A = this chain, B = another copy of it.
Amino acid sequence: MTGTPLLDDLRAALGDDGVLTDPDLLRGYQRDEADLCVAGMPAVVTRPRNTAEVVAVVQTAARYGVPVVPQGARTGLAGAANAVDGAVVLSTAAMAEILEIDPVNRIAVVQPGVVNAVLAGEVGKLGLRYPPDPGSWESSTIGGNVSTNAGGMCCVKYGVTTEYVLGLEVVLASGEVLRTGRRTAKGVAGYDLTRLFVGSEGTLGVITEITVALRPAPEESLTLVAVFPSTAAAGTAVAEISARGLTPSLLELLDQTHLRAIEAHQPMGLRTDARALLLAASDTGPRAAADLERLAEVCEAAGADEVFAATDQIEAAALLQARRMAHPAMERFAAEAFPGGNGGLIIDDVAVPRGSLAALLDGVERIAEECGVAIGVVGHAGDGNMHPNIVVDRADPASVERGRRAFDEIMRLALAMGGTCTGEHGVGLLKREWLAQEIGPVGVRVHQAIKAALDPTGLFNPGKIL
């Protein structure tokens, strides 16, 4: 149990069990789920149990001039949680208490390490709902969701994480504890510091407590499947759904590559001959059937080959489960596409105005052909937020290079359409250059000025976002 002065001080503050230094353990904290992003080896992983211990970690690291990399469950897809060499990783996994659920005021107060599904389950018991539902919801933490402003399938009707964050407790680089926001339904007191921290990917402070807004539990929902002869036709249906003022509670797209990957991963009877499938739902209870009819009409008019409603909640749940399986199924498909299981994915996350979705999907097909790579597309069609998943052979630099080129071309296309380089995954390491393109030199300078104002020595999560 010997160590450096840094480690000694951390152990003194957190006890031995709050400080990990075994290299085998440290390796588990090196990276999130983003493929092909650099990750360093941390000097130490700390697991503080409360705000005071977070303050101790931050102050100790600051004293030794060692950077702090905050981590949730490391399910992110942009490398934002990746360690840098010699850093202090600050895992919030041991801060996993739901501190309060208040049904009258429809709020919950949680520690950052609470898993999304745990919170959703607990509030569900009280007839309430915490809507944000990123793909990783069964393992990702509220702290991580807030830090990356996570999205999910609910967003088309219920918005992203930031819409549900009322207030935060944050440990600043100075070691001071900042409280932002409120517990009230409404409030405009001062600058919106809460939303400045949401999505800041651990670069401005360490979030130690979160007050979230809850909603009443949704009513019963009905689910629709529409099968299309082309991805562009599915995109056209989405634009028309939006133009007609319909508000589905779910509007997801799966392309043929994903349908086949999912069927291969776990046979579910999906129509793998379809070029694209739209999954739509309405959660308006007694009115859902009428909503579904209008959605079906639009899909048929846009050229769907087949449109059918899930016969019951079991089939609807199975369809949702198939959609949720897209990411692991595609990872497996990619791995198996190359010898030695060396296939990997570069995951894009562009969002374009809904009216441009069909053109984006056409463009992705063209880019795949031009770059000579396979690209599967899946995503939150109702938000115009697509995940073109680019399949590359990690063992073949030329394949990786082609994949990166396709990634860049898709980014360029989306920005040219008035889109954004990230709809929900965040910037992390993966999209720093594209963020700079998107926000321009003035935007970059303002980001730098805010970072410098809150974290003048660059203590937190260096190299991320900017």
The residues of A with any CB-CB pair to B shorter than 8 Å are 102-107, 127-128, 148-149, 151, 155-156, 160, 162-163, 172, 176-180, 182-193, 195-196, 198-200, 204, 216-217, 239, 242-243, 245-247, 286-287, 351-355, 380, 382-385, 418-427, 431, 435, 438-440, 442-443, 445-447, 449-450, 452-454, 465
CB closest residue in chain B, given A214: B245
**B-side contacts of A191, CB under 8 Å:** 196, 199-200, 204, 447, 450, 465
**Do the beta carbons of A186 and B442 come within 8 Å of each other?**
no
CB closest residue in chain B, given A444: B190
A354 to B102, CA, bound (A): 11
**Do the beta carbons of A420 and B184 come within 8 Å of each other?**
yes
Q: How far is the CB of A370 from chain B (nearest CB, A)?
A: 25
A422 to B247, CA, bound (A): 32
Q: How far is the CB of A200 from chain B (nearest CB, A)?
A: 6
Q: How far is the CB of A171 from chain B (nearest CB, A)?
A: 10
A167 to B81, CA, bound (A): 27
A176 to B217, CA, bound (A): 46
**Do the beta carbons of B384 and A185 come within 8 Å of each other?**
yes
**Do the beta carbons of B186 and A192 come within 8 Å of each other?**
no
**B-side contacts of A199, CB under 8 Å:** 188, 190-192
A382 to B217, CA, bound (A): 18
CB closest residue in chain B, given A198: B192
A68 to B63, CA, bound (A): 41
Q: A160-B188, A190-B465 are in contact. List 11 more A-B contacts (CB 8 A).
A: A149-B188, A160-B186, A172-B442, A182-B418, A184-B385, A189-B435, A190-B199, A190-B443, A191-B450, A449-B454, A450-B454
**Do the beta carbons of A419 and B190 come within 8 Å of each other?**
no
CB closest residue in chain B, given A194: B195
Residue of B246, B353, B447, B453 near A105 (CB, 8 A) is B353
**Do the beta carbons of A385 and B185 come within 8 Å of each other?**
yes
Q: How far is the CB of A440 from chain B (nearest CB, A)?
A: 7
Q: A440-B179, A443-B193 are known contacts. Are A185 and B354 too (CB-CB below 8 A)?
A: yes
**B-side contacts of A352, CB under 8 Å:** 184
**Do the beta carbons of A184 and B418 come within 8 Å of each other?**
yes
Residue of B216, B239, B422 near A188 (CB, 8 A) is B422
12 A–B contacts, CB within 8 A, in A order: A103-B243, A104-B243, A176-B445, A184-B352, A184-B423, A185-B382, A185-B383, A186-B351, A186-B383, A191-B196, A192-B198, A196-B450
**Do the beta carbons of A449 and B453 come within 8 Å of each other?**
yes
**Do the beta carbons of A104 and B454 come within 8 Å of each other?**
no
**B-side contacts of A383, CB under 8 Å:** 184-186
**B-side contacts of A286, CB under 8 Å:** 287
**B-side contacts of A442, CB under 8 Å:** 172, 176-179
**B-side contacts of A382, CB under 8 Å:** 185
**Do the beta carbons of A423 and B180 come within 8 Å of each other?**
no
**Do the beta carbons of A217 and B245 come within 8 Å of each other?**
yes
**B-side contacts of A189, CB under 8 Å:** 420-422, 427, 431, 435, 438-439
**Do the beta carbons of A184 and B351 come within 8 Å of each other?**
yes
Q: Which of A148, A176, A245 has the most CB of B within 10 A?
A: A245
**B-side contacts of A178, CB under 8 Å:** 442-443, 446
**B-side contacts of A160, CB under 8 Å:** 186, 188
**B-side contacts of A423, CB under 8 Å:** 184, 186-188
**B-side contacts of A186, CB under 8 Å:** 151, 155, 160, 351, 380, 383-385, 420, 423-424
Q: How far is the CB of A189 from chain B (nearest CB, A)?
A: 5
Residue of B102, B155, B182 near A420 (CB, 8 A) is B182
**Do the beta carbons of A245 and B192 come within 8 Å of each other?**
no
A217 to B182, CA, bound (A): 30
CB closest residue in chain B, given A380: B186
A443 to B421, CA, bound (A): 32
CB closest residue in chain B, given A213: B159
**B-side contacts of A103, CB under 8 Å:** 243
A216 to B244, CA, bound (A): 8
**B-side contacts of A427, CB under 8 Å:** 188-190
Residue of B128, B176, B195, B425 near A192 (CB, 8 A) is B195
Q: How far is the CB of A123 from chain B (nearest CB, A)?
A: 12
